Structure 1
Amino acid sequence: MQDLGKLIKAYDIRGTVPDQFNEGLAVQIGAAFARWSGAESIVTVRDMRPSSPGLAAAFAAGATSQGVNVIDAGLGSTDMVYFAAGYLNMPGAVFTASHNPAQYNGIKLCRAGAAPIGQDTGLRDIRTMIENGVAAFDGPPGTVTSRDLLGAYAGYLRELVDLSAIRPLKIVIDAGNGMGGHVAPAVLGDAMLPSLPLEIVPLFFELDGTFPNHEANPLDPANLVDLQKAVVEHGADAGLAFDGDADRCFLIDQNGEAVPPSAIVALIATRELARDPGAAIVYNVITSQAVPEIVTEAGGVPVRCRVGHSFMKQRMAEHDAIFGGEHSGHYYFRDFWRADTGMLAAMHVLAALGGQDRPLSELAGQYTRYHASGEINSEVPDPAATLQRVGASYADTAGVSVDWLDGLTVSYGALWFNLRPSNTEPMLRLNVEGPDTTSMVRLLDSVLAQVRGTAG
């Protein structure tokens, strides 16, 4: 039996094709998911990777062998499967490896209503079922039916954010040859719905899972260079960069500068609080301190959370939060079944930008108060021991706050850092923020020296 621990991660199923993930295994996963879910029907979506059609078909064969029907929605983004699972009220599966290189593929699963599935909420049970052998179903097989949901998805998003009355905007969109090139024209263009006051300049809209231009991973600044140049060259008002499965979106201002995701969190939070005063807003431990400050000033209730979509969605459910945001570019909406959608986040920013006359740099600037390091990774032999050692060094320091919600967070008022372990690698991830660059860099250097064993 293959070691499924390398394939079934904390939040999804992902590995290299065909050595870690192949159609034979997809059949078993489809059968196990169908039996585990107890559903009559499952909806599936797939991305543009060369292996995705075969894997999706194999998964459907496994599911139908258990008497479960499969609604095949074809090509789509990850947030489209969340829409489908909510809209159709059935479990969903999307075949994608997000921002990973071309040799990878995987599956993200959700329950009806787009409820998340992670290790503790189904993935461990599905893995056990596969390892023990999925029992045969004694009854007629299910059916596979194709259904186009792209128009319904686009229409639903447009109902949530009205862009029809904004001032004309020129927007460059870099899809990175990923699913943004499929869904952006439907939502922001005029392919299916009435045209919007947007002039779209497309970059790499051709669907190509080999990613011939650059990786579809906007977290890496190198993958934003083409978009930054294009925004300036075209005199655009903004640029949008989507990852491979288009569930995350990053913004570039009119000067070609990246807009901090935390500023986007704060901007969208104020817009949502204007609709629902006093509502809760969830943010994670590496999001800028400006977010809870601005949420409080806007009359909302800031709720701090661990990093990761399953934790974010759980906290949103517990507090009936209207919105949640992570500094990694994931944005969650109560009106979208508490699921994350980069497209809806982009629409909120465009609505805010087009509803006033200032450029995006000034608009985003009012939500940016501090200086951040960005995430810095350090490979260490024993992450847990290193984390404890660093934490102990601050335990008795006067005027310092220490907590362990998600790794280690040490705060000196507006100056703070978070150090947390990777879920998959022997690595610690460090984020530092401060009121000015000098103090931030000084703390960054100090913590890195402790983590990497170079402190004097």
Structure 2
Amino acid sequence: MPDLTSIIKAYDVRGVVPDQWDETVARAIGTAFAEFVHGETGATSVVTAHDMRDSSVPLSRAFAEGVLSRGIDVVEAGLGSTDMLYFAAGSLEMPGAMFTASHNPAQYNGIKLCRAGAAPIGQDSGLVQIREWAEQLLDGAAPFGRDPGRLGTVSTRDVAVEYADYLRGLVDLSGIRPLKVVVDAGNGMGGHTVPVVLSGLPLEIVPMYFELDGSFPNHEANPLDPANLVDLQAGVREHGADIGLAFDGDADRCFIIDERGEPVSPSAITGLVAVRELAKGTGTVIIHNLITSRAVPEIVREHGGEPVRTRVGHSFIKAEMARTDAVFGGEHSAHYYFRDFWRADTGMLAAMHVLAALGEQARPLSELTAAYERYVASGEINSTVADQAGRVAAIREVYGERDGVTLDELDGLTVSWPDGAWFNLRASNTEPLLRLNVEAPDATRMAQVRDEVLEVVRA
């Protein structure tokens, strides 16, 4: 029997196909998911969508068979981005399942599950129960006493236009000055959604790698890796564009490149969008994870908002947004969450906010975003270590006795100095890695902290 603990992670399902999971596993997970959402809320329908990977259609159909076997109907939204699935789950008030491995290489696939209203399902909120039931099903057991009395039915619904109309109702781009925009879809789902959402606006779109191809022939669809931004940076310079947008494989994240071809940090985008959301006057709370720049809470306070710091990860962000009624949340990884979008993450809506902010005034993007870039950051640096806990303990010992230094263990270990320098060291949930993020008032101080920490971590 496949080891489901190796593919059902903290937030989703993710693994190599067919080595780690296949259609049989997908069918069992679909069966368990249907029973879970029916038992929790009485759900009678589930909506599904999938990305462009070769394995996505077979896996999503096998999952649907499992759902149907429990008397639950399936609405197939077909080809879409993850945030389009969240839109469907929100607007249709149905639990949802998105088949994608996001930025992972071609041999991977996965499932992102949510409740009706796009509310998250994670390890602490149902995923463990779903996994246990799926394991029992694969082992030949029948874990459910309920007799559904019928098979569910399948229908299809193309929600792309509804999704586009909804986003365009949240951010009006019709009156901005004309902008030239280079978009790198990375052969992922941005190539499907960008033409629907951004057509007919004062935007000249220069497409890069819009052909849907789950083998990712041009580069990985992971814009968090600077190597995957090189083509877009060159494209922005070559075309004299005002801005560049880079989407990941399932198009729920968006990275921004300015007119010089330089990346704009996700923390700066968080600050910019936060200011726009606060200006609506519909709420004051802004969520940011502990790895975003210290500039974010500063900017939020300066604009009358209340910053709330959380752990890294969408389930923590969404839970805190619900608790505080936050209007917006941002992460260092370019996940952006909106109360107006069922508290779900959408790179497209964040991109539209940046396009609006740029197009509503005359300055170039580099000048517009300079006010949000106050510190120098290292970016995320990964170190492969055999003993994650031991290395973190060594760092805690090194810095724990230093005068003026504060330690915080909300998520991993965060060490801060009075001069504004800080670092966070976190263990990966899925790999033998420690992830280091450093920020300081200037590049020299950042490099000093970075190199000192890495010397201990990699000793």
TM tier, smaller? over 0.9
CA–CA distance in 2 between the matches of 1:21 and 1:347? 37
Q: Is residue 2:159 matched to residue 1:149?
A: yes
Q: TM-score normalized by structure 1?
A: 0.97
Matched AA of 1:160: L
5+ residue gaps, structure 2, are: none
CA–CA distance in 1 between the matches of 2:411 and 2:389? 12
Q: Is residue 2:238 matched to residue 1:233?
A: yes
- Describe the SS at the equivalent of 2:264: coil
CA–CA distance in 2 between the matches of 1:271 and 1:374? 25
Which residue number corresponds to residue 30 of structure 1? 30
CA–CA distance in 2 between the matches of 1:235 and 1:327? 28
Q: Following TM superposition, by how much is the alpha carbon of 1:377 offset from its aligned partner in structure 2, in angstroms?
A: 0.8
Q: Percent identity?
A: 67
- Describe the SS at the equivalent of 1:255: coil
Q: Following TM superposition, by how much is the alpha carbon of 1:343 offset from its aligned partner in structure 2, in angstroms?
A: 0.2
Instruction: Please say if residues 51 and 105 of structure 1, whose CA atoms lie closer than 8 Å, have aligned partners that are also in contact.
Output: yes
Instruction: Please say if residues 2 and 21 of structure 2, whose CA atoms lie closer than 8 Å, have aligned partners that are also in contact.
Output: no
CA–CA distance in 2 between the matches of 1:30 and 1:201? 39
Which residue number corresponds to residue 92 of structure 2? 88
CA–CA distance in 1 between the matches of 2:226 and 2:215? 20
CA–CA distance in 2 between the matches of 1:185 and 1:412? 46
Which residue number corresponds to residue 73 of structure 1? 77
Larger CA deviation: 312-321 vs 337-346? 312-321
Distance 1:138-1:327 versus aligned 2 partners, 3 A rule: closer
Q: Following TM superposition, by how much is the alpha carbon of 1:277 offset from its aligned partner in structure 2, in angstroms?
A: 6.4
Q: Is residue 2:3 matched to residue 1:3?
A: yes
Instruction: Please say if residues 277 and 299 of structure 1, whose CA atoms lie closer than 8 Å, have aligned partners that are also in contact.
Output: no
Which residue number corresponds to residue 167 of structure 1? 177
Equivalent of 1:110 in 114, 131, 143? 114
CA–CA distance in 2 between the matches of 1:401 and 1:254? 39
Instruction: Please say if residues 185 and 209 of structure 2, whose CA atoms lie closer than 8 Å, have aligned partners that are also in contact.
Output: yes
CA–CA distance in 1 between the matches of 2:197 and 2:393? 47
Equivalent of 2:149 in 130, 139, 148? 139
Q: Following TM superposition, by how much is the alpha carbon of 1:140 offset from its aligned partner in structure 2, in angstroms?
A: 1.2
Instruction: Please say if residues 189 and 250 of structure 2, whose CA atoms lie closer than 8 Å, have aligned partners that are also in contact.
Output: yes
- Describe the SS at the equivalent of 1:165: coil
CA–CA distance in 2 between the matches of 1:420 and 1:22? 31
- Describe the SS at the equivalent of 1:390: helix
Equivalent of 2:255 in 237, 250, 253? 250
Larger CA deviation: 341-350 vs 309-318? 309-318
Larger CA deviation: 137-146 vs 274-283? 274-283
Q: Following TM superposition, by how much is the alpha carbon of 1:396 offset from its aligned partner in structure 2, in angstroms?
A: 2.2
Equivalent of 1:301 in 295, 301, 306? 306
Which residue number corresponds to residue 367 of structure 1? 372
Which residue number corresponds to residue 355 of structure 2? 350
Query: Over residues 13-41 of structure 1, what are the superposed CA-to-partner deviations in whole Å (9 max), with x where a residue is unaligned?
Result: 01111111211111111111000110100
Q: Following TM superposition, by how much is the alpha carbon of 1:206 offset from its aligned partner in structure 2, in angstroms?
A: 0.7
Query: Over residues 117-173 of structure 1, what are the superposed CA-to-partner deviations in whole Å (9 max), with x where a residue is unaligned?
Result: 101111100011112225474411000101110000000000000001100001000
After TM superposition, the runs of 4+ consecutive aligned structure 1 residues lying more than 3 A away are 134-138
Query: Over residues 431-453 of structure 1, what are the superposed CA-to-partner deviations in whole Å (9 max), with x where a residue is unaligned?
Result: 10000101110111111111112
Instruction: Please say if residues 74 and 146 of structure 1, whose CA atoms lie closer than 8 Å, have aligned partners that are also in contact.
Output: yes
Query: Over residues 24-78 of structure 1, what are the superposed CA-to-partner deviations in whole Å (9 max), with x where a residue is unaligned?
Result: 1111111110001101000000000011111111111110011000000000000
- Describe the SS at the equivalent of 1:250: strand
Give 1:33-432 correspondences, 5 Å limit.
33-38=33-38, 39-133=43-137, 134-135=142-143, 137-189=147-199, 195-276=200-281, 279-413=284-418, 414-432=420-438
CA–CA distance in 1 between the matches of 2:89 and 2:282? 28
Distance 1:357-1:27 versus aligned 2 partners, 3 A rule: same
Q: Is residue 2:448 matched to residue 1:438?
A: no
- Describe the SS at the equivalent of 2:263: coil
Query: Over residues 225-270 of structure 1, what are the superposed CA-to-partner deviations in whole Å (9 max), with x where a residue is unaligned?
Result: 1111111111110000000000000000011111111000000000
Q: Following TM superposition, by how much is the alpha carbon of 1:397 offset from its aligned partner in structure 2, in angstroms?
A: 1.5
Q: Following TM superposition, by how much is the alpha carbon of 1:392 offset from its aligned partner in structure 2, in angstroms?
A: 2.2
5+ residue gaps, structure 1, are: 190-194
- Describe the SS at the equivalent of 1:200: strand
- Describe the SS at the equivalent of 1:178: coil
Matched AA of 2:182: V
Q: Give the root-mean-square deviation of aligned CA atoms.
A: 1.0
Instruction: Please say if residues 283 and 326 of structure 2, whose CA atoms lie closer than 8 Å, have aligned partners that are also in contact.
Output: no
- Describe the SS at the equivalent of 1:356: coil
CA–CA distance in 2 between the matches of 1:386 and 1:177? 38
Instruction: Please say if residues 42 and 71 of structure 1, whose CA atoms lie closer than 8 Å, have aligned partners that are also in contact.
Output: yes
